[in-house]
Chain A
Amino acid sequence: MTLQQPALPATAVATRPARRRDRARLFQEIGMLAPAVALLTIFLAVPFLLSFWTAMTNQPLVPRPTPVRFIGLTNFLRIFKDDLFWTSLWNVSRFTFWILPVQCGLAFATALLLHQKLPLRNFFRGLFFLPAITSMVVVCVIWGTLFQYPTGPFNQVIGFLSGGRIQPIDWLGDPNWAMFSIVLLSAWQAYGFQMIVYLAGLQGIPDELYDAARIDGANAFQRFWHVTMPGLRPTHVFVLVITTIQAFKLYTQVAILTQGGPRSSTETVVHYMVRAGFEEQKLGYASAVSVILFLIVLVIALVQRQLLRRFDV
Chain B
Amino acid sequence: MSDLAIPTLQAEAQRERSAIGSLRLIQTACILVIALVIVSPLFMLLIASLKDDRFQILADMGSFRAFWVSNPTLSNFAEVSNLSGELAFGRYLLNSLFILGCTVGAGLIVNSMAGFVLAWGTLRGRALVLSLVIALYVIPQESIIMPLVIMVSRAGMTDTFAVQIVPWVASPLYIFLFYQFFAQLPKELFEAAEMDGASVFRIYRSIFLPLSLPALATVSILMGIESWNQYLWPILVTQTDYARPIAVAIATFFGQDSIYWDRAMAASVLMMIPILALYLAFQRWFVSSFVGSAVKG
B-contacting residues, A103-153, CB 8 Å: 109-110, 113-114, 116, 118-119, 124-138, 140-146, 148, 151-153
Q: How far is the CA of A130 from the CA of B59 in the complex (A)?
A: 26
Q: How far is the CA of A110 from the CA of B114 in the complex (A)?
A: 36
A13 contacts the other chain (Cβ, under 8 Å)?
no
A-contacting residues, B117-154, CB 8 Å: 117-123, 126-127, 129-130, 133-134, 136, 138-140, 142-151
Q: How far is the CA of A135 from the CA of B236 in the complex (A)?
A: 18
Given A36-B113, A46-B151, A113-B27, A270 and B142 contact (CB-CB distance below 8 Å): yes
Cβ-defined contact, A5 with B127, below 8 A: yes
Residue in B closest to A293 when the chains form the complex, CB atoms: B143
The contact string, 1 if C-beta is below 8 Å from chain B, for chain A 252-264, is 1001100000000
Q: Please count how many residues in chain B sit with their CB below 8 Å of the partner chain's CB atoms.
A: 104
A303 contacts the other chain (Cβ, under 8 Å)?
no
For B292, list chain A residues within 8 Å (CB).
Answer: 200, 204
The contact string, 1 if C-beta is below 8 Å from chain B, for chain A 178-190, is 0000000000100
Residue in A closest to B292 when the chains form the complex, CB atoms: A200
Cβ-defined contact, A297 with B294, below 8 A: no
Cβ-defined contact, B123 with A54, below 8 A: no
Cβ-defined contact, B247 with A137, below 8 A: yes
Given A152-B58, A157-B62, A256-B251, A287 and B147 contact (CB-CB distance below 8 Å): yes
Residue in B closest to A288 when the chains form the complex, CB atoms: B146
A-contacting residues, B246-297, CB 8 Å: 247-248, 250-251, 254-255, 261, 264-265, 268, 271-272, 275-276, 279-280, 283, 287, 290-292, 294-297
- B44 CB to nearest chain A CB (Å): 7
Q: Give the dominant DSSP class at A's interface.
A: helix
A209 contacts the other chain (Cβ, under 8 Å)?
no
For B48, list chain A residues within 8 Å (CB).
Answer: 145
B190 contacts the other chain (Cβ, under 8 Å)?
yes
For B190, list chain A residues within 8 Å (CB).
Answer: 9
For A215, list chain B residues within 8 Å (CB).
Answer: 9
**8 A-B contacts (beta carbon < 8 Å):** A43-B166, A61-B149, A109-B34, A133-B279, A141-B45, A142-B41, A145-B44, A201-B295
For B114, list chain A residues within 8 Å (CB).
Answer: 32-33, 35-37
Could you list which residues of chain B lie within 8 angstroms of chain A, going by C-beta atoms? Answer: 9, 19, 23-24, 27-28, 30-31, 34-35, 38-39, 41-42, 44-45, 48, 57-59, 61-63, 66, 110-111, 113-114, 116-123, 126-127, 129-130, 133-134, 136, 138-140, 142-151, 166-170, 172, 175, 183-184, 187, 190-191, 194, 199-201, 204, 225, 228-229, 231-232, 236, 247-248, 250-251, 254-255, 261, 264-265, 268, 271-272, 275-276, 279-280, 283, 287, 290-292, 294-297
A102 contacts the other chain (Cβ, under 8 Å)?
no
Cβ-defined contact, A40 with B172, below 8 A: yes
Cβ-defined contact, A293 with B140, below 8 A: yes
Q: Which of A21-29, A83-91, A92-100 contacts B (4 or more CB under 8 A)?
A: A21-29
Q: Which of B57, B167, B194, B200 has a CB less than 8 Å from the CB of A29? A: B200
Cβ-defined contact, B139 with A48, below 8 A: yes
